[in-house]
Amino acid sequence: MPQSAEKVLDHSLLFREPEYKEMFAKKRADMENMPAAEKVQETADWTKSWEYREKNFARESLSINPAKACQPLGAVFAAAGFEKTLSFVHGSQGCVAYYRSHLSRHFKEPCSAVSSSMTEDAAVFGGLNNMIEGLKNAYALYSPKMIAVSTTCMAEVIGDDLQSFIIGAKEKESVPQGFPVPFAHTPAFVGSHTTGYDNMLRGILEGFWADAEVTKNETINIVPGFDGFAVGNNRELKRILDLMGVEYTILSDVSDQFDTPSDGEFRMYDGGTTLEAAKNAVNAKATISLQQYCSVKTLQYAKSLDQETASFHYPMGVAATDEFLMKVSEITGKEIPEELRMERGRLVDAMADSQATLHGKTYAIYGDPDFVYAMARFVLEFGGEPRHCLATNGTKPWAKKMQALFDSSPFGAECKAYPGNDLWHMRSLLATEPTDFLIGNSHGKFLERDTGVPLIRLTFPIFDRHHHHRFPVWGYQGGLRVLVTLLDKAFDTLDAAGLEPGGDISFDLTR
Amino acid sequence: MSLDHKNDAEFHASLIEEVLKAYPDKAQKKRSRHLSVAKPAEAPEEGGEQNLSECAVKSNIKSIPGVMTIRGCAYAGSKGVVWGPVKDMVHISHGPVGCGQYSWAQRRNYYTGTTGVDTFVTMQFTTDFQERDIVFGGDKKLEKVIDEINELFPLANGISIQSECPIGLIGDDIEAVARKKKSETGKTVVPVRCEGFRGVSQSLGHHIANDTIRDWVLDKSEREFEATDYDVTIIGDYNIGGDAWASRRLLEEMGLRVIGSWSGDGTLAELEQAPKAKLNLIHCYRSMNYICRHMEEKHGVPWTEYNLFGPTQIAQSLRHIASYFDDTIKEGAERVIAKYQPLVDAVVGKYKPRLEGKTVMLYVGGLRPRHIVNAYDDLGMEIVGTGYEFAHNDDYQRTGHYVKEGTLIYDDVTGYELEKFIEQIRPNLVGSGIKEKYPVQKMGIPFRQMHSWDYSGPYHGYDGFAVFARDMDLAINNPVWDLFDAPWTKTEPLAVAAE
pLDDT in tens, B81-93: 999 999 999 999 9
In sequence order, the 6+-apart residues with CB closer than 8 A to the CB of A12 are none
**Cβ–Cβ gap A137/B347 under 8 Å:** no
Minimum distance, in Å, between the CA of residue B172 and any CA atom of chain A: 13
Arithmetic mean of pLDDT, B22-34? 98
Query: Among A344, A403, A400, which Cα is nearest to A377's?
Result: A403
Tens digit of pLDDT for each residue in A15-26? 999 999 999 999
pLDDT over 60 at A34, yes or no:
yes
**Which helix or strand (DSSP H or E) is residue B362 part of?**
strand B359-362
**Mean pLDDT along residues A103-114:** 98
Would residue B73 show up in a list of annotated catalytic residues for this protein? yes
Which chain A residues are Cβ-neighbours of B117 within 8 angstroms?
A: 40, 43-44, 47
DSSP A177-221: TTS---B----TTSS-HHHHHHHHHHHHHHHHHTTPPP---S-EE
User: Which alpha helices (H) appear in A58-192, and where do they start and end?
Assistant: 71-79, 93-107, 120-125, 128-142, 153-158, 162-171
CB contacts of B19 in chain A (<8 Å) are none
Which entry of A157, A190, A318, A348 is annotated as an active-site residue? A157
* A204/A221 Cα distance (integer angstroms): 14
What gap in Å lies between CA B377 and CA B355, rounded to an integer?
Answer: 10
Report chain B residues whose CB lies below 8 A from the CB of A109: 438
Q: What is the largest CA-CA distance in chain A?
A: 79
pLDDT in tens, B224-259: 999 999 999 999 999 999 999 999 999 999 999 999
Query: Do the Cβ atoms of A65 and B270 come within 8 Å?
Result: no
Model pTM greater than 0.95? Answer: yes
Exposed, middle or buried, B132 (CB in 10 Å: 0-12/13-18/19+)? exposed
Using the predicted structure, report yes or no on whether residue B45 has a pLDDT greater than 90.
no
Does A93 contact B122 at a Cβ distance shorter than 8 Å?
no
Summary mean pLDDT of chain B: 96
Q: Does pLDDT of B54 surpass 70?
A: yes
Whether residue B499 is predicted with pLDDT greater than 50 in this model: the reply is: no
Q: Residue B7 — very low, low, confident or very high, per pLDDT cuts 50/70/90? A: low
Of B127, B347, B441, the CB nearest to A262: B441
Per-residue pLDDT reduced to its tens digit, B97-136: 999 999 999 999 999 999 999 999 999 999 999 999 999 9
Interface test with A, best of B78, B87, B102 (most A CBs within 10 A): B102
Q: According to the model, what pLDDT value does residue B494 have?
A: 54
Distance CA B186, CA B184 (A): 6
Contact B72/A3, CB-based, under 8 Å?
no
Report whether pLDDT(B40) > 60: yes
Which chain A residues contact residue B435 at CB under 8 A?
97, 100-101, 104, 110-111
Q: How confident is residue B4, by pLDDT bands cut at 50, 70 and 90? A: very low
A122/B149 CB distance under 8 A:
no
Per the residue annotation, which of B55, B76, B333, B475 is the catalytic one? B76
Residue B47 binned pLDDT confidence (cut-offs 50, 70, 90): confident
Q: Are B60 and B390 contacting, i.e. CB atoms less than 8 angstroms apart?
A: yes
| Cβ B274 vs Cβ B223: under 8 Å | no
- B76 in catalytic set: yes
Total beta-carbon pairs less than 8 A apart between chain A and chain B: 357
Please state, in angstroms and as integers, the Cα–Cα distance from residue A149 to each residue in A160, B169, B400, following that order.
12, 22, 41
Answer whether B63 touches A (CB < 8 Å). Answer: yes
CB–CB contact A137 B24 (8 Å): yes
H-assigned helices in A366-420 = 369-381, 396-407
Is position A157 annotated as part of the catalytic site?
Answer: yes
Q: Do A192 and B346 touch (CB under 8 A)?
A: no
Q: How far is residue B45 from each of residues B42, B51, B133, B400, measured CA to CA in Å?
A: 9, 11, 57, 14
Collapsed DSSP state (helix, strand, coil) of residue B221: coil
What was the pLDDT predicted at B491? 58
Of B69, B481, B252, B61, give the one whose Cα is nearest residue A115: B69
Q: Give yes or no for a cis peptide into B458 (omega within 30° of 0).
A: yes
CA B358 from chain center: how many Å?
24
Q: Do B63 and A24 lie within an 8 Å CB cutoff?
A: no
SS3 B497: coil
Strand blocks (E) in A342-474: 362-366, 385-391, 416-419, 437-440, 455-457
Q: In the prediction, which pLDDT does A62 show?
A: 98
Query: Which residue is closest to B103 within chain A, CA to CA?
Result: A98
What confidence category does residue B2 fall into, taking pLDDT thresholds of 50, 70 and 90? very low
- A266 to B439: CB separation less than 8 angstroms, yes or no: yes
Q: Is the dihedral of CA A331, A335, A339, A340 positive or negative?
A: positive
B139-167: per-residue pLDDT in tens?
A: 999 999 999 999 999 999 999 999 999 99
Among candidates B98, B152, B343 on the partner chain, residue whose Cβ is nearest the Cβ of A188: B98
pLDDT over 90 at B44, yes or no: no
pLDDT tens digits, one per residue of B386-396? 999 999 999 99
What pLDDT is stored for residue A499 in this prediction?
Answer: 79
| Residue B284 pLDDT grade (very low, low, confident, very high; cuts 50, 70, 90) | very high
Distance CA A496, CA B83 (A): 39
Q: What is the pLDDT of residues A117-144, one digit of tens each?
A: 999 999 999 999 999 999 999 999 999 9
Residue B3 has pLDDT above 80, yes or no: no
What pLDDT digit, counting tens, does each position of A291-306 carry?
999 999 999 999 999 9
Closest residue of B to A22, CA-based?
B249
Residue A5: pLDDT over 50: yes
Mean pLDDT score of chain A: 97
Per CB-CB distance under 8 Å, the chain A contacts of B115 are 446, 450
